[in-house]
Structure 1
Amino acid sequence: MIDLSLHDTGPRNLRVREFYLGRQPILDRNQTLFGYELLFRNAPVGPANVTNELAATAAVIAHASQLGMEKTIGDALGFVNVDADVLMTDIFPFLPREKVVLEVAETLPLTPPLLARMTELAGHGFRFALDDVTGESANVAALLPLVDYVKMDLRNLPLATLMKLAPRFRQEQKKLVAEKVETREEFKNCLDLGFDYFQGYYFSKPVIMSGKKLSPSQLAVMELMTLVTSEADNQEIERAIKRDVSLALNLLRLVNTPAVGARQRIDSLSQAVTILGRRQLQRWLQIMLYAEPSKRGHSMTPLLMLATTRGRLLELLAGKLRPSQRHSADIAFTVGIMSLMDTLFGIPMSEILAQIPVNEEVSEALLYRGGFFGDLLKLAECIERIEEMDDHIVPTLRDLAMSTDELVELEMAAFEWSDNVVRYAL
């Protein structure tokens, strides 16, 4: 059995908890959440030391599983990178086989014992993905019968190569995953080539459309948010909610989620306004802005998931770093949830802030990533893009006087909270 407190990574012993956890969404052809790739990075190890990182993966995954894999991935699948050393360990009793896909690189050094081990794990119900496929090598031919998914990195493969490889692997009945999809055009190209799943942050980049107007329901939520943050009395707010039946019903459903933590069921709008208070009501209205497009048949689940995770993580970070300043946590949540509204609306952030009154600290964070809340937002964005930005995390954590141990615990809590909210919001 693996020693969960220490795991030898070569030149020195590494504490299991000295790691960052990144969670990158994998979407299906309808842009609905399908899974997450879980990316573990050892805090003191730079991006060049991938071998050392993977050597520690077994202990890290085991520890994350103890913390609760369901907190990390919810109802989705978890794709986890493993190397030969990890495959030969006895980590696998820790992992829920129905929830995990093991990713192996095309360059994996194959030996008869390793192939036998992978065959054994597949026989026990574990699924494999072949990662970073660039062509039809001997390794690919040997591994293809064992894998369900083939992943291709758009940054490493020209379109002409993708056009050649995609039909080949589809013929073998493999599910195709496009990695590092960064633009809508790349997403469409891969759709046309028959890719099944898509990984990358194309869905979170704003596509600015001049003269775009908000939908009537979005306008209703925005107007209500203005009332909530003004001096309007509770009866006026309640009347405004009642004017939009779907808004009223959705709000009642949301405020009864476990994430709210209400001690009693809230059955009326009057109760919702009274029991929740202005701060909580504003929060659920902000979340509803992201949930509303999904109800019109447009899948915004990943954006809703990303925004609620950011909001909650920033709130928890601010609460940890400024425990005596309750309003700081509220401001941090607002910064996190609003940071994707330019993508949601297709309107520049500056125009959004002209319509939604926010204080100077929120504006500085959203427009320029400035100030304390801007630092928190930058940290969240670095974690989301951990593959290319993990070297920015150490200095930011040092500036914030926060340990990696604390960060991972807050991340797990944010993941779980967001998953709860999204289940009820859609």
Structure 2
Amino acid sequence: MVRGRRRIGKSALAEEFAGRSGLPFAYYTASPGDPQAELSQFMDDIAASTLPARDLFAESAPGTWNAALLQLGQALPDDSPSIVVLDEVPYLMERVEAFEGLLQRAWDRVLSRKPVLLLLVGSDLSMMEALNSYERPFHQRGTEVVVGPLNPAEIQRMLGLSAKDTFDAAVVTGGLPLVCAEWPRGASVWEYLHQALGNPLSALLVSGERSLAAEFPTQAQAREVLQTIGSGERTFTNIARAAGGISHSTLSRAADLLIAKGVVTSELPLSTRPSKERRYRISDPYLRFWLRFLRPHMPEIERRRGDLTLRRIASQWSSWRGRAVEPLVRESLARLVPGSAAVGAYWTRGNDVEIDLVGADRAPVAGKLHFLGSIKWLENSPFDDHDAAALARHRAAVTDELVPLVAVSRSGVSCTGLSAVYGPDDLVRAWQPALARQTVWEIST
């Protein structure tokens, strides 16, 4: 059961794998159409496959999905391996009555007795997770595989960038392979954007709209809320106001849908005290960039004025990037710092106390704090005494203990008194194989 967000390359990966295997295989992709029309397409795809007994579907056309899945088992070889890919399975789960039960029956009676690798692929994360959940028909009958984006170490290796430029690429592309493939090797973020914004059909521009069209074809309210969060609003009240004053119940339904689909992340402050000051952010860095800078200005890009968009990005880049890199920094530190089961952030309702990094034994209410830290991601400004003093003041507002203080800086550190310091090279190292990770924390302590 293969899942991952849209445009991540699941289908291409499955197709490439099946083709390279040298084994007979069948590949069917469902669509949000009429179930009977989809059944006809399924039969056509099996008949056009390389399965040795594919003629069964040309000779006898099953009239139901139950019969088609059982007949598929008969078309598979008994004594040699084969591969069957069912892509966009969530469409079948939505539109074919009791599809999960039909699949379970076909698997138990026929398919599992053959040497076949069955790949169930889907982009609706919540539905793919549900496929293997307790009390669902297909529970524990398959192995879950999550296809994620390229991580910073992979982006650096693919694009030949410095660590600093790697994180620029990560917050723009989100690690989407199709977008990264457009990035000229060794190019800066500005060289890449100049090229991509000059082509209205570039993957950078079209991937966002295609993802939303497939994910939310009829949910206009959810798309409006998503755009509002993408514009930078983070709290429930501000999102409701910026989205045109929609009711709290409407916003709650839209937010729940976005969270269930993995498009939006809901976060609480991490500390030893419970809090209700919830914030929302776009989960995918690429979609965050696209919603903020590209979607609102597609008309000017399409009329070949991408230079105006590029100028707008440049004017807001420093402040936007500083916030956009924070989730990636936290995820990197969770991999780097020994013993920190959770790395989050802390804030108050009025933001009079805001701490970028909180390492703890668990979240959102910690039993023990491991470290507190600040992120300074500016081009030519190091983390200095002023930043260190502000971090120490904020620590006093969170805990009476002398919890270790750490700094993450794009441009180095010019102060003392910190337990650990992390730069772009350290953060990239977090994503390399375990043997390559000797952390700055371990060195300093």
TM-score (ref. length: structure 2): 0.27
Q: Which has the higher helix share?
A: 1
Structure of greater Rg: 2
Q: Select the structure with the greater relative contact order (CA < 8 A; seq sep ≥ 6).
A: 1
